[in-house]
């Protein structure tokens, strides 16, 4: 009975928060209807819990307990703090698109002089315009996932990016999410990237916090469409504040002979979950997903991937590494489904975890569901500690214990980081890993 009462009070508080936020949410008419339907879907489920199979390792009712109210629009001091935080995470040669507390910040962004074939709009202006077809695409993600539904209901801003047929961008696009450091609150963002046929782009996403940002919640989603013979390189770096929550989703669809190369690293946030659904809609496509969790203290990070092989002659590779210290908890769930018509599929998945303390935990759950008979598929998972003989070898050559551990950890995660095609972005990822290593003391 107590559980039911608590759930009812939580649901009432969230409903009140949605009603209060309605005046700040972009879009009217059908957009408002989409929002209400999404919020109702979230209200029926509430925060996911361990009795839901996909969330069995990440019980948000226990870890997070409640959704905070919507963050206010950033004022002058908030933008100043965000600008200071941005300096450490700027990527040389990239076009910067900055969202502060869930709102686009034009003064911190670079919109001028776009490359040929590149179109950039904010989510807010798209939702306030009358493009019903585009609105439908933006609200397309499945509301059966309660956190995606909540994001659909509450999203305030984001980026809508189009790359025309045949356009190959030479500069990466860098979407930076910044928590400015005001009162603990929630940020809801959604972005869309559409690549035309024979096009190419590199997208970087960073999640960071300004000085003083504490106990905030970041909810983000990304919708990606990759056209025939197009390529997208994607790098995702989560370096949120250590008591923050980051819940993010991605929905990716590939056309024929498309290529999607994605890398993600989580070293920040107290609790984080990244859930991605990648669908093969055209023959001859390839997906490479690589990820790293670097965790210590009581950090909890969950990466859940679903690859849907629905057509023939497609390849996928998943490489995931976790380094867990203290009482950290890393989760990797990788599910590959091969549909009956997806003959000649070649899909492989490998996850490895490195535990640096007796209380560290790693849950790895690779899954294969194969309904075709002419395929090449495989998966594996390992968990272990640092090799004592290698540590002794390095210590015998004058390295301290922390230096020896750092060298072995860098080698352990190197295979995933090396998947980043862009040299500059590879160095950015290496720098993020080094910051985590240095913070271990």
Kindly report, residue by residue over 339-363, the tens digit of the pLDDT. Answer: 999 999 999 999 999 999 999 999 9
Helix, strand or coil, per DSSP, at residue 191: strand
The pLDDT of residue 56 is 95
The pLDDT of residue 2 is 37
The pLDDT of residue 27 is 85
Helix (H) or strand (E) holding 427: helix 423-439
Query: Measured between alpha carbons, how far is 53 from 302 in angstroms, rounded to an integer?
Result: 13
The pLDDT of residue 84 is 95
The pLDDT of residue 436 is 92
The pLDDT of residue 212 is 87
* Tens-place pLDDT, residues 192-202: 999 999 999 99
410 occurs within a structural domain: no
Kindly state the tokens that stand for 295: 């965790």
For residues 135 and 30, is the Cβ–Cβ distance under 8 A? yes
431 occurs within a structural domain: no
pLDDT higher for 63 or 440? 63
The pLDDT of residue 423 is 94
The pLDDT of residue 9 is 54
Query: Measured between alpha carbons, how far is 273 from 270 in angstroms, rounded to an integer?
Result: 10
Q: Is the pLDDT of residue 312 over 70?
A: yes
Q: Is the pLDDT of residue 17 over 80?
A: no
Query: Measured between alpha carbons, how far is 274 from 207 in angstroms, rounded to an integer?
Result: 12
Q: Is the pLDDT of residue 12 over 90?
A: no
407 occurs within a structural domain: no
Percent of the chain with pLDDT over 70: 97
Q: Give the residue numbers spanning the domain of 371.
A: 2-387
Q: Is the pLDDT of residue 98 over 90?
A: yes
The pLDDT of residue 183 is 84
Tokens 């941005």 identify what position? 86
The pLDDT of residue 7 is 44
Q: Report the range of poorest mean pLDDT among 293-302, 421-430, 431-440.
A: 431-440
- Cα distances from 331 to residues 139, 141, 228, 434, in angstroms, run 28, 23, 33, 22
Kindly state the tokens that stand for 229: 């013979």
Helix, strand or coil, per DSSP, at residue 184: coil
The pLDDT of residue 258 is 98
397 occurs within a structural domain: no
* Tens-place pLDDT, residues 55-87: 999 999 999 988 999 999 999 999 999 999 999
Domain count, the chain: 1
The pLDDT of residue 72 is 92
436 occurs within a structural domain: no
Q: Is the pLDDT of residue 6 over 90?
A: no
For the chain, what's the residue count?
A: 441
Percent of the chain with pLDDT over 90: 82
* Tens-place pLDDT, residues 243-268: 999 999 999 999 999 999 999 999 99
């Amino acid at each position: 009975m107590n559980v039911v009462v608590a759930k009812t009070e939580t649901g009432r508080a969230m409903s009140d928060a949605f009603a209060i936020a309605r005046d700040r949410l972009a879009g009217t008419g059908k957009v408002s209807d989409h929002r209400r339907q999404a919020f109702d879907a979230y209200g029926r489920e509430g925060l996911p819990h361990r009795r839901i199979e996909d969330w069995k390792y990440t019980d948000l009712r226990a870890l997070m307990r409640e959704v905070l109210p919507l963050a206010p629009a950033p004022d002058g001091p908030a933008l100043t703090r965000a600008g200071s935080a941005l300096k450490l995470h700027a990527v040389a040669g990239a076009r910067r698109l900055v969202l502060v507390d869930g709102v686009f910040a034009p003064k911190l962004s670079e919109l001028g002089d776009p490359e040929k074939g590149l179109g950039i709009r904010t989510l807010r202006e798209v939702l306030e315009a009358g493009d019903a077809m585009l609105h439908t695409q933006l609200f397309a993600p499945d509301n059966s996932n309660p956190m995606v539904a909540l994001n659909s209901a509450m999203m305030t801003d984001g980026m809508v990016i189009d790359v025309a047929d045949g356009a190959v961008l030479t500069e990466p696009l860098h979407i930076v999410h910044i928590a400015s450091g005001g009162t603990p609150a929630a940020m809801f963002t959604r972005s869309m990237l559409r690549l035309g046929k024979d096009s190419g782009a590199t997208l970087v996403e960073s999640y960071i916090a300004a000085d003083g940002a504490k106990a905030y919640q970041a909810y983000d989603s990304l919708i990606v469409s990759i056209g025939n013979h197009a390529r997208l390189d994607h790098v995702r770096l989560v370096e949120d504040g250590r008591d923050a929550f980051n819940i993010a989703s991605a929905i990716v669809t590939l056309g024929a002979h498309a290529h999607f190369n994605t890398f993600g690293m989580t070293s920040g946030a107290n609790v984080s979950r990244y859930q991605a659904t990648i669908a093969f809609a055209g023959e001859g496509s390839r997906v490479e997903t690589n990820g790293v969790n670097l965790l210590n203290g009581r950090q909890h990070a969950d990466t859940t991937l679903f690859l849907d092989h629905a057509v023939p002659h497609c390849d996928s590779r998943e490489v995931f590494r976790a380094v867990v210290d203290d009482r950290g908890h890393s989760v990797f769930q990788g599910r590959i489904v091969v549909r009956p018509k997806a003959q000649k599929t070649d899909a492989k998945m490998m996850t490895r975890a490195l535990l640096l303390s007796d209380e560290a935990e790693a849950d790895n759950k690779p899954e294969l569901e194969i309904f075709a008979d002419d395929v090449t598929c495989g998966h594996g998972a390992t968990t272990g500690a640092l090799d004592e003989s290698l540590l002794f070898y390095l210590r015998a050559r004058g390295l301290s214990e922390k230096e020896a551990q750092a060298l072995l950890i860098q080698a352990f995660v190197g295979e995933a980081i090396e998947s980043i095609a862009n040299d500059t972005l590879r160095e950015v990822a290496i720098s993020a890993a080094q910051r985590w290593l240095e913070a271990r003391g």
